[in-house]
């Protein structure tokens, strides 16, 4: 049987495609070997560091258990920052090392995985799965974009504000998953090419910045907020209510949304006279989804009731208890299945938070956090300067690392500083968690940034200046709020 005439041509194209994917490394052989062995070097260095610290004599003012807690903390931070091991694997290692080194009984270390924050995060992911899978978030986004996105500026503004507002009630990764594909289709409908359209860059940046800014407004936007509360609760026995958290953060959100809009308009002015093609695409997509289904209405009702319950009853019944009841209601009404949960829930993140919470509790209860605080920023002598430095460190590290890793690394030391300077531990938790989530330049820390970069329309060199301005605005705004506004709502900040 003779081959069809098109087969040789198809084979040739397939071979060319494979050759295009071959990347020749032209670096010196020594550099190639070093880069490939760096992970092994870091892993060995962490193990050596841990052994040296465990066997060393504790300095004055630090117990043996405290020194060993610092040893576990050191290896965890090294692996978290360098990525030598996945975040969740490092967290599991923390649990084991805390028991093996005698910092706390092994049973107690494992029990910290039962922290309320863990179950809240898990239930919040399940709620977001229902919103995503049933199409409720997509419907809301299309409705808003069709209503307000009929002009170039209106479309960017609707993407920007809706991304922020949706991040008030569902996790940032869910918001990014809803808005990103819509923006991709809009840019395709308008034939906006990467590298040639600043308007397309502004659209994707509006999605990313709006999501990140809105994510700090409530406890639902980013799981790092509940991680901070978990560490706070296990370390000090204190917590922050849903309304109290939002009362502290909403003014910062409003300030940054205004600053971000000005920066977007200045650095990425519209180069389009009309967005009629995007309006037609929105009409087409809206026609495809049809009328609102019973499932969407049910998810919307349960989500609304859950948020109200958090606001009113969280102090009596806890965040996790309310969230779990909401998830049970979703399953009972047939609005969510376990297969859908497995598809949307990031189980690794849940594991990561268990280790981080255990690490924070160990540092606090052994006195290691206070020792680290005194040995580092505690020597400065001014609470104002210490708070400013810590906020800036959290913000800059948030550009480079996972936001969860930033909170896990900085908050235990921050709580030690809070005790040293007489600062409200709740205010310190806000001070670390809020700036850690404000990422404006790099794609590392947040799903929204990573997706925006994956579109091909964003380039780091274009974002250094506008993103740097946003970082400065966030830092200045946070310092003003914590010294002028936070004491007024009950978060005491020392001034000596």
pLDDT at 20: 44
Condensed to tens digits (0 to 9), the pLDDT of residues 91-122 reads 889 989 998 888 888 888 888 777 777 888 88
Distance CA 415, CA 231 (A): 9
- Segment 57-62 shows an average pLDDT of 85
Look at residue 187 in the predicted model and tell me its pLDDT: 85
pLDDT digits (tens, 9 = 90+) for 190-211: 887 777 778 888 899 999 999 9
Q: Is 258 exposed, middle or buried (0-12, 13-18, 19+ CB in 10 A)?
A: exposed
Average of per-residue pLDDT across 457-483: 91
- The whole-number pLDDT of residue 30 equals 54
Token pair of 83, please? 């990525």
The pLDDT value recorded for residue 246 is 93
d(CA 97, CA 325): 34
Q: State the number of CA atoms in the 13 A half-sphere of 31 facing the CB.
A: 4
pLDDT of residue 14: 53
Mapping DSSP to helix (H, G, I), strand (E, B) and coil, where does residue 366 land?
A: coil
Q: For 311-339, what is the mean pLDDT?
A: 88
Q: How many CB atoms lie within 10 A of CB 131?
A: 28
User: Which residue matches tokens 């268990």?
Assistant: 354
**What's the chain's average pLDDT?**
84
Confidence of residue 47 (pLDDT cuts 50, 70, 90): very high
Give the residue, 396 or 271, on which the prediction is more confident: 396
Tokens describing residue 269? 């002015």
Q: How far apart are CA 191 and CA 145, in angstroms?
A: 18
What are φ and ψ of residue 100, in 5° steps? -65, -35
Q: How far apart are CA 256 and CA 434, in angstroms?
A: 12
- Total residues belonging to the chain: 496
Neighbouring CB atoms inside 10 A of 347's CB total 12
Neighbours of 88 (CB within 10 A): 19
Contacts of 25 (CB under 8 A, 6+ apart): 32
Q: In the 3-class helix/strand/coil scheme, how is 177-202 assigned residue by residue? A: HHHHHHHHHHHHHCCCCCCCCHHHHH
Find the Cα–Cα–Cα–Cα dihedral 482, 488, 494, 496, rounded to 10°. Answer: 100
Nearest to 127 by CA among 289, 294, 295, 306: 306
**pLDDT tens-digit map of 139-175:** 888 888 888 878 888 889 999 999 999 999 888 888 8
Task: Out of 36-50, 186-200, 421-435, give the one with best mean pLDDT.
Answer: 421-435
Running DSSP on this structure, what letter comes out for residue 484? I
Predicted local confidence at residue 408, as pLDDT = 84
- pLDDT band at 177; cut points 50, 70, 90: confident
What is the per-residue pLDDT for 350? 73
CA–CA dist 59, 243 (Å, integer): 43
> pLDDT higher for 317 or 223?
317
- The pTM of this model reads 0.81
b/e string for 473-488 if b means 16 or more Cβ within 10 A?
bbbebbbebbeeebee
Which residues lie below 8 Å from residue 253, measured CB to CB, with a gap of 6+?
164, 213, 214, 216, 217
What single-letter DSSP state applies at residue 455?
T
Q: CA-to-CA distance for 76 and 70, rounded, in angstroms? A: 10
The per-residue pLDDT for 198 is 84
Could you tell me if 410 and 80 are in contact, meaning their C-beta atoms sit under 8 angstroms apart?
no
- Using the predicted structure, report yes or no on whether residue 270 has a pLDDT greater than 70: yes
Helix (H) or strand (E) holding 279: helix 276-289
Q: What is the pLDDT of residue 8?
A: 53
Cα distance between residue 406 and residue 397, in whole Å: 6
Q: What is the pLDDT of residue 18?
A: 47
User: What's the pLDDT at 15?
Assistant: 45
Angle at 79 (CA atoms; ends 418, 366), nearest 5 degrees? 40
Q: Phi/psi class of residue 334: alpha, beta or left (left: φ > 0; alpha: ψ in -120 to 50)? A: left
The residue with greater pLDDT, 211 or 274, is: 211
Is residue 9 pLDDT above 60, yes or no?
no
Residue 210 and residue 178: Cα distance in Å, rounded? 13
- The pLDDT confidence band at residue 494, using thresholds 50, 70 and 90, is low
């Amino acid at each position: 049987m003779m081959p069809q005439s098109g087969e040789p041509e198809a084979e040739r194209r397939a071979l060319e495609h494979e050759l295009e994917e071959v990347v020749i490394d032209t670096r010196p052989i020594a550099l190639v070997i070093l880069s490939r062995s760096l992970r092994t070097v870091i892993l060995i260095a962490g193990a050596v560091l841990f052994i040296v610290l465990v066997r060393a004599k504790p300095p004055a003012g630090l117990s043996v258990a405290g020194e060993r807690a610092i040893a576990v903390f050191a290896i965890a931070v090294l692996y978290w920052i360098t990525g030598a091991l996945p975040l969740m694997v490092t967290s599991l290692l923390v649990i084991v090392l805390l028991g093996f080194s005698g910092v706390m009984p092994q049973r107690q270390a494992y029990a910290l995985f039962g922290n309320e924050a863990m179950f809240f995060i898990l239930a919040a992911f399940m709620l977001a799965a229902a919103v995503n899978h049933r199409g409720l978030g997509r419907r809301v986004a299309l409705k808003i974009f069709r209503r307000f996105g009929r002009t170039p500026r209106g479309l960017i503004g609707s993407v920007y504000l809706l991304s922020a507002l949706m991040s008030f009630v569902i996790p940032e990764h869910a918001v990014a998953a809803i808005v990103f594909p819509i923006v991709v289709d809009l840019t395709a409908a308008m034939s906006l090419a990467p590298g040639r359209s600043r308007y397309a860059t502004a659209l994707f940046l509006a999605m990313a910045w709006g999501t990140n800014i809105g994510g700090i407004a409530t406890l639902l936007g980013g799981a790092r907020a509940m991680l901070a509360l978990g560490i706070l609760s296990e370390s000090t026995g204190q917590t922050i209510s849903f309304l109290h958290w939002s009362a502290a953060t909403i003014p910062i959100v409003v300030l940054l949304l205004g600053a971000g809009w000005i920066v977007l308009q200045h650095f990425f002015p519209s180069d389009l006279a009309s967005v009629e093609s995007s309006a037609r695409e929105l009409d087409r997509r809206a026609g495809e989804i049809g009328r609102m289904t019973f499932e969407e209405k049910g998810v919307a009702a349960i989500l609304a009731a859950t948020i109200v319950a958090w606001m009113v009853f969280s102090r009596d019944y806890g965040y996790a208890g309310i969230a779990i009841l909401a998830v049970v209601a979703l399953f009972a009404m047939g609005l969510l299945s376990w297969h859908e949960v497995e598809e949307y829930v990031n189980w690794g993140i849940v594991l990561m938070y268990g280790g981080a919470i255990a690490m924070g509790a160990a540092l606090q209860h052994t006195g290691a956090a206070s020792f680290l605080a005194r040995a580092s920023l505690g020597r400065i002598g001014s609470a104002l300067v210490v708070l400013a430095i810590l906020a800036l460190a959290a913000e800059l590290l948030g550009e480079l690392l996972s936001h969860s890793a930033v909170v896990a690394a900085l908050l235990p030391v921050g709580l030690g500083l809070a005790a040293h300077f007489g600062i409200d531990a709740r205010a310190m938790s806000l001070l670390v968690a809020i700036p850690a989530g404000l990422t404006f330049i790099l794609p590392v820390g947040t799903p929204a940034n990573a997706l925006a970069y994956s579109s091909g329309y964003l380039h780091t060199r274009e974002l250094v200046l506008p993103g740097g301005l946003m970082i400065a605005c966030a830092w200045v705004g946070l310092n003003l709020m914590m010294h002028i506004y936070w004491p007024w709502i009950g978060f005491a900040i020392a001034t000596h």
